Amino acid sequence: MSTKLSLIAAAIMLPLTMSVNASAINQTKGDFEDKFRQLGQALPTPNVYRNAAGEPGAQYWQQKVDYKIKATLDEENRRLTAHQSISYKNNSPDTLKYLWLQLDQNIFKSDSIAELTSTVKTKLQSGPDKGKAKISLNTLRRQQFLDDTEMGYQIAKVKDNSGNALKATVVGTLMRIDLKKPLKPGKTAKFSMDFAFNIAEEDAVGARAGYEHFEKDGNDIFLLAQWFPRLAAYTDYEAWTNKAFLGSGEFTLEFGNYDVELTVPADHIVSATGELENASSVLTKTQRSRLEKAETSKRPVFIVTEEEALENEKEGSSKTKTWKFNAEKVRDFAWASSRKFIWDAKGYQQGGDDQPLVMAMSFFPVDGGDLWKKYSTESIVHTMEVYSRFSFDYPYPVAQSVNGPVGGMEYPMITFNGPRTELQDDGTRTYTQAEKRFLIGVVIHEVGHIYFPMIVNSDERQWTWMDEGLNSFLDGIAGREWDPTIPWGVEAQDIVPYMKSERQVPIMTQSDSILNFGRNAYAKPAVALNILREVILGRELFDFAFKEYAQRWKYKRPTPSDFFRTMEEASGVDLDWFWRGWFYSTDHVDISIDRVYKLRLDTKNPDIDYGRLRETELNKPVSQFVERNKAEGRELWVDKNQDVSDFYDDNDRFTVTNKERNSYNKFLKGLKPWERKTFERAVKEDKNYYVLEFSNLGGLVMPILLQLTYTDGTVEDKYIPAEIWRRSPKKVQKLIVTDKNKELKDISVDASWLTADIDVENNYYPRRIIPSRIEAYKSKKRDGKVNRDIMQDIKTELKKDEDKKEKPLTEDKK
């Protein structure tokens, strides 16, 4: 076939067929990267424990660990002493000679890896304070607390079931217990130990638990978590997960049942993982009847009112009470205890067979104020309503939010949340809009964690994104269903500043090595999943696949590949490029629309095409040189000497002769019937051929979300899947054909900013003027010691009272 459609661009001749296909063959060995190559080699080989579909395999197994703990809180010494007996069921196919336990309290010991490797970022100042550095009072407080308090576990009497002492070797934040005889597959090892530790002051050390002291009434709130030696996970993909606790990578644990007896001062209120077993001996009759009323109440009911809590915190008690809790199928146990607690509750009637009623409960000191009374328990209920839709019914009897010194932390059935109100001089309690948003946001987030990773038990020590990323994605959904005017941080544009930044590691980075924890492990995966749901898969496919993931791995231990495989397998969409770009690389999205050509088809008929060419020639701008000559009155030689004119002065180069007409007819005759039909139809329709030239500046391949605005005012959205970049990941051209009278006015890419494109200004063709604001500012006075007016300052009187007016010394002397 010899037909070559040549089209005329406004000023450029561009052979259409070549220009469109050029990108497809414009590959070199040097800079071509196949962004769609399958993830295969990056993922572990599927096996009988985890199959290729991302499901637990036919021989999936996990260990089971049951705990019986009796603990006593020594309020005065802020010390916990306890005895625990552990039953360890080996469901693995391996024989175990020893068991590893996590000793998280040892992270505070001066010889822990975390302490020994803690670093500071100190920069000597420039300017007037040249050579000086800064240290925060918080850093000094931490230093002083750790100097004054002996931290870490004291462990004694490690014994097996028959009372034989077991050898226990402490290795930093881990402890190895050597068994008397190897533990065979299917067998259970039972052992026990005594342990004790001094509780950290949370505000001093900054941990996930600890006590908070209230100067005004002398009482404490105790938050106890990572408080007992817990079995490290033994897994099919890594065996013992005995990576030291460095602080960032959280906990990978085994499921089991807990019987826990907590002995605390008699006037304390206790909130804990699990169901309270002995309400009749620790709660009053009134409290029990209020709890019952709360089950069906529309709004939270106070079990302990503010007045009762204030009364309670006035005097301590030398007596104790023992609270008994039972928790089934949990991977951890945490609790809180204080005489300061107000306690409210509301039943969440979720229906179903497993757990038709869940008690949502909040525990907070008077400092929680209306903020907590109004929103904490309601936020718990809202979280369960939304999360269950995306995963499974909430399976536990209680879901709790406890106020304390920890900003936000999650454990099974219980969460710690930090926001407070401020007591004002007029006796009222007020709070900022930020505190309100923080409370609702943190409760949703932490209660959400009870699903991920407390039930969908991902390995937090390795992969923070699997709990924080998935959970931030879901809390963004629950949050925006609560009130979308609160910024939830999961919209695509929220991640743009981070995606632009230089200090980045891929999402697939072990938890303790992440450079920007919040952005990398929370926001980026959350935004990525949001984009996957809203832009790439659509809600129906995404939600089906995500729910499949949650249900497959409920009470089990998924790894990243199980998530990637399930999402792909259940949605039926190849997402390897997406995981590779968003999770395995630090590329960002920056798609630019560089150029748009409007092309018209040549008719090949010289009587038409030559005329068009002549018109183009005539429309060319006249040379400035010629115009200026004219203005100066210079006459042209050809005008002055018209007697020597010839043929070419009357006929231009676009003059058509029969030679061209014959060649045109020969061309038409040489076409096969279908070719001639196609050609003649195209000439007759005379459509507009727009060639859109895109470049991928960020490296991350994404769909192109095109919006075409026509001169007739109509707007058309076009979705071009990411696969357009498969053979040419850096530059592509796309042909858009419109009817003769349907002309493009302008084009935008991702006009609603859904893909986290880091430079939206190159998303418009033609480019637009960027609107912003500019602020006038006043130059600052010089600071530094030498710039003080000491002559005047020396007269300053020493201030004794804030309210007293300052008087110069000289005046007093008079």
The C-alpha atoms of residue 63 and residue 72 are separated, in whole angstroms, by 28
Cβ neighbour number for residue 748 with a 10 Å cutoff: 18
Largest CA-CA distance found in the chain, in angstroms, rounded: 129
Strand stretches in 501-659, DSSP E: 591-601
Shortest distance, CB of residue 453 to Zn ion, whole angstroms? 9
Q: Which is nearer to Zn ion, 55 or 468 (CB)?
A: 468
8 Å CB contact between 228 and 423: no
Q: Which is nearer to Zn ion, 219 or 511 (CB)?
A: 511
Question: How many residues lie near Zn ion (CB under 5 A)?
Answer: 1
Shortest distance, CB of residue 468 to Zn ion, whole angstroms? 5
8 Å CB contact between 290 and 301: yes
DSSP output for 678-723: HHHHHHHH--EEEEEEEEESSB----EEEEEEETTS-EEEEEE-GG
Q: Which is nearer to Zn ion, 447 or 691 (CB)?
A: 447
Q: Which is nearer to Zn ion, 294 or 456 (CB)?
A: 456
Q: By C-alpha distance, which of 506, 578, 495 is closest to 542?
A: 578
Shortest distance, CB of residue 439 to Zn ion, whole angstroms? 15
Q: Which is nearer to Zn ion, 468 or 587 (CB)?
A: 468
Task: Find the part of the chain contacting Zn ion (CB under 5 A) among 299-307, 360-368, 467-475, 723-731.
Answer: 467-475
Q: Which is nearer to Zn ion, 379 or 696 (CB)?
A: 379
Shortest distance, CB of residue 445 to Zn ion, whole angstroms? 6
Q: Which is nearer to Zn ion, 250 or 548 (CB)?
A: 250
**H/E element, 551:** helix 539-552
Task: Find the part of the chain contacting Zn ion (CB under 5 A) among 59-67, 133-141, 158-166, 465-473.
Answer: 465-473
Structure tokens at 676: 């001639």
Shortest distance, CB of residue 401 to Zn ion, whole angstroms? 14
8 Å CB contact between 125 and 133: yes
Q: Which is nearer to Zn ion, 88 or 473 (CB)?
A: 473
CA dihedral 541, 546, 549, 555 (to 10 degrees): -150
- b/e 526-544 (16+ beta carbons within 10 angstroms → b): bbbbbbbbbbbbeeebbbe
8 Å CB contact between 384 and 398: no
Shortest distance, CB of residue 449 to Zn ion, whole angstroms? 5
Q: Which is nearer to Zn ion, 468 or 757 (CB)?
A: 468
Q: Which is nearer to Zn ion, 212 or 468 (CB)?
A: 468
The C-alpha atoms of residue 762 and residue 593 are separated, in whole angstroms, by 6
Shortest distance, CB of residue 486 to Zn ion, whole angstroms? 17
Residue 669: partners with Cβ closer than 8 Å, 6 or more residues away = none
The C-alpha atoms of residue 562 and residue 806 are separated, in whole angstroms, by 70
248 CB-contact burial (10 Å; exposed 0-12 / middle 13-18 / buried 19+):
middle
Q: Which is nearer to Zn ion, 313 or 468 (CB)?
A: 468
**How far is residue 555 from each of residues 303, 394, 566, 569, 580, measured CA to CA in Å?**
32, 12, 16, 21, 28
Shortest distance, CB of residue 444 to Zn ion, whole angstroms? 11
Q: By C-alpha distance, which of 243, 235, 249, 229 is closest to 86?
A: 229
Shortest distance, CB of residue 474 to Zn ion, whole angstroms? 11
Shortest distance, CB of residue 467 to Zn ion, whole angstroms? 7
Q: What is the 3-state secondary structure (H, E, C) of 321-361?
A: EEEEEEEEEECCCCEEEECCCEEEEEEEECCCCCCCEEEEE
Task: Find the part of the chain contacting Zn ion (CB under 5 A) among 247-255, 323-331, 464-472, 584-592.
Answer: 464-472
Residue 535: partners with Cβ closer than 8 Å, 6 or more residues away = 703, 705, 754, 755
Task: Find the part of the chain contacting Zn ion (CB under 5 A) among 283-291, 461-469, 500-508, 711-719.
Answer: 461-469
The C-alpha atoms of residue 72 and residue 69 are separated, in whole angstroms, by 10
For 754, the 3-state DSSP assignment is: coil
- Which residues lie across from 408 on neighbouring strands? 417
Q: Which is nearer to Zn ion, 267 or 468 (CB)?
A: 468
Shortest distance, CB of residue 409 to Zn ion, whole angstroms? 8
Shortest distance, CB of residue 442 to Zn ion, whole angstroms? 9
Shortest distance, CB of residue 207 to Zn ion, whole angstroms? 15
Task: Find the part of the chain contacting Zn ion (CB under 5 A) among 98-106, 466-474, 559-567, 629-637.
Answer: 466-474
Give the strand pairing for 704-710 and 688-696: unpaired
C-alpha torsion sign, points 758, 759, 763, 769 = positive
| 565 φ/ψ angles, rounded to the nearest 5 degrees | -65, -40
Structure tokens at 521: 């492990």
Shortest distance, CB of residue 360 to Zn ion, whole angstroms? 19
Q: Which is nearer to Zn ion, 450 or 758 (CB)?
A: 450
Task: Find the part of the chain contacting Zn ion (CB under 5 A) among 27-35, 343-351, 463-471, 562-570.
Answer: 463-471
Question: Radius of gyration (Cα) for the chain, nearest Å?
Answer: 36
Q: Which is nearer to Zn ion, 468 or 494 (CB)?
A: 468
Task: Find the part of the chain contacting Zn ion (CB under 5 A) among 54-62, 172-180, 330-338, 460-468.
Answer: 460-468
Q: How many angstroms separate the first and last alpha carbons of the chain?
A: 112
Shortest distance, CB of residue 465 to Zn ion, whole angstroms? 11
Shortest distance, CB of residue 747 to Zn ion, whole angstroms? 41
Which residue number places its CB atom closest to Zn ion?
468
Shortest distance, CB of residue 470 to Zn ion, whole angstroms? 10
> Looking at this protein, which amino acid is placed at residue 210?
G
**Mask: binding to Zn ion, 137-156, rule CB under 5 A, as x and -?**
--------------------
Task: Find the part of the chain contacting Zn ion (CB under 5 A) among 16-24, 468-476, 529-537, 624-632.
Answer: 468-476
Give the strand pairing for 96-102 and 301-304: unpaired
Q: Which is nearer to Zn ion, 75 or 468 (CB)?
A: 468
Residue 411: partners with Cβ closer than 8 Å, 6 or more residues away = 225, 273, 332, 333, 334, 454
Q: Which is nearer to Zn ion, 369 or 525 (CB)?
A: 525
Q: Which is nearer to Zn ion, 250 or 267 (CB)?
A: 250
Structure tokens at 722: 């990411």
Task: Find the part of the chain contacting Zn ion (CB under 5 A) among 107-115, 394-402, 462-470, 705-713.
Answer: 462-470
Q: Which is nearer to Zn ion, 467 or 576 (CB)?
A: 467
Shortest distance, CB of residue 415 to Zn ion, whole angstroms? 10
Residue 434: partners with Cβ closer than 8 Å, 6 or more residues away = none
Q: Which residues bind Zn ion (CB under 5 A)?
A: 468
